[in-house]
Amino acid sequence: MLTEKKLTGYPSIDKPWLKYYTEEAINAKIPECTVYEYLWECNKNHLNNTALNYYGRKITFKEMFDGIENAAKAFATIGVKQGDIVIMATVTTPETIYTFYGLNRLGAIANMVDPRTSVEGIREYISEVNAKYVLCLDVAYPKIEKAIIGTDVKQIVVTSPADSLLQPQKLLFNLSNKIKGATQQLNAKCLRWDVFISNGTGVKPKYPTYIKDSCCIIVHTGGTTGMPKGVMLSNDNINALVVQSVLTGIDMKREHTWLDIMPPFIAYGIGNGLHLPLTIGMETILIPSFDAKRFDELIAKHKPVHMVGVPSYWGTIIASKKLRNADFSYMIAPTVGGDSMDISLEKRANAFLKAHNCSSLITKGYGMTEVCAAVAVTVDANNEPGSVGIPYVKSIISIFDPETGEELKYGELGEVCITGPNIMLGYYNNESATNEIIRVHKDGTTWVHSGDMGYMNENGGLFIVDRMKRMIVRYDGFKVFPSLIEKVIVSHPAVEGCCAVGLSDKEHSQGKLPMVHIVLKYESFNNESRVEQELVELCRQELPEYAQPVIYKFRKTLPLTPVGKIDYRALEKEAENF
């Protein structure tokens, strides 16, 4: 560890977080190669180890690399070449992994699309990049068939979750689909996966060499900052993410197992969920269809050494009867990200882990799609309550005044900005939006402006307060952070979760007032009136007058985004008609 030095008060100059890293980590180099080449170099001497665990089928690294090679040959056969963009509307199956790395071998670009996207949305994704090739899940095929009308798509490859199942499971799956009438009739532009792969037999593609800062994947923003935008990430971005994750000092070994529940169409899913454990050499347990309500069953069944998820999943774990007497001594650094974790839930989760023999605290992280998912993390040495972690060793995070652009000192609230090797290449075909978020400051440093409000302390710990765009601005100019209200509401023992949003102030020509949506714990469902009275009093005591909610709305559930975050935008839309 580095010795501490005198602080100037500015995080980007002091880099106080480096005291938690070894000299070896600080001086480590990011590999200059493709993601496929890095995966191969890390595992070429361990080909008989298990790479993927897919519904009980153990796929070795040799089998996985063979699958990647076969996919590369098959895509070359239909005409995919360096620089081509291929739409991938799939979930986490072996075929998705073979395709992503196979396209990477060819120098092609994977454009990741949520298969649940509407026909119109898929058509927009296809048209935006002028895609000619699509890989899709069979259940998404009817939408794809409609979406390609009027586009230049000339080949669709259809894959099924059954393609890599063990034979008995595959027969049952296909029989079930036949009974349900779910078997798809394909048009002339389509090939099923097995036929597609067999067509590539004997082909010898010409594999291009690595080009620094070339795009290898497009993932889309979650829409929480407006319409989804295509984020172009390079081989260097994804490899930097993985290397820095390893350099945090979290104990991650080849003999460990990794439970992958994150979908591949988000940056975190492809980077942390797949490329990280696979380059380390872990057995990666693939869960293509994740149900948060059954998270406890997955943990009990697989006993993963490592797992990741959003904070809300921990409510399921803590309340689970199946895990009441479980021993978590095998678990290392159970990780949450994608959303801020309420301190009360963090404390409950840490108490639960300790009571179940886990030696780790909840590991929290911070990032965004535009910086390849993650740029900060906590390990036990710096795991402060409420903090989302310290910056990765090759990354710099600091706080800037959103109006003046000046860097702020420790403890001062401003916009979180990030610089380092994880910064995206830009938004696809959207220079104006790229220039809004990636800006060169007066010292010449290029920063990503996150849109998050937060502060850093003298240890380099980052604390997120709220999103700038979530801020509720009242008619009188007072600014209310929803998270301020939410922290008070969830401190009530009857509250399971909540979300505060702005409601139009009908008594004034502009401005909004805070309202809060609340989910109660099961045992309090019938006591809404009493709980509301107690919450009103609690807010009077804990919140300034201008931040008092004007409406308390109780509901059975809160809407969630596809990756399990509370969908505050959906609640804001509801408020428009309130």
Q: Supply the pLDDT for residue 544.
A: 86
> What is the model's pLDDT at position 564?
80
* pLDDT given for residue 222 in this prediction: 65
Question: In 3-state terms, what secondary structure has residue 483?
Answer: helix
- The answer on pLDDT for 224 being more than 50 is no
pLDDT value at residue 411 = 97
Task: Summarize the confidence of residues 303-325 as an average pLDDT.
Answer: 91
Q: pLDDT tens across 337-350, in order? A: 877 788 888 999 99
On the question of pLDDT at 495 being above 90, the answer is: yes
pLDDT of residue 122: 94
Does residue 354 surpass a pLDDT of 70?
yes
Q: Do residues 535 and 492 lie in contact, with contact meaning Cβ atoms separated by under 8 Å? A: yes
Answer whether residue 178 shows pLDDT above 70: no
Contact 213, 259 (CB under 8 A): no
Distance CA 127, CA 312 (A): 35
More confident residue, 244 or 289: 244
What is the Cα–Cα distance from 11 to 27, expressed in whole angstroms? 20
Task: List the structure tokens of 550.
Answer: 């004007």
Residue 1 has pLDDT above 80, yes or no: no
For 2-94, strand residue ranges (E) read: 50-54, 57-60, 85-89
Share of the chain above pLDDT 90, in %: 80
Whether the per-residue pLDDT at 77 is higher than 60: the answer is yes
443-480: pLDDT as tens digits: 999 999 999 999 999 999 999 998 888 889 887 778 89
Least confident span in 10-14, 181-185, 415-419, 502-506: 181-185
Contact 88, 112 (CB under 8 A): yes
CB atoms within 10 A of CB 93: 25
* Paired sense of beta strands 50-54 and 57-60, if any: antiparallel
**β-strands 215-220, 230-234: how paired?**
antiparallel
State the CB neighbour count (10 A cutoff) for residue 48.
Answer: 9
Average pLDDT, the chain: 93
Q: What percent of the chain has pLDDT over 70?
A: 96
- What does pTM read for this prediction? 0.87
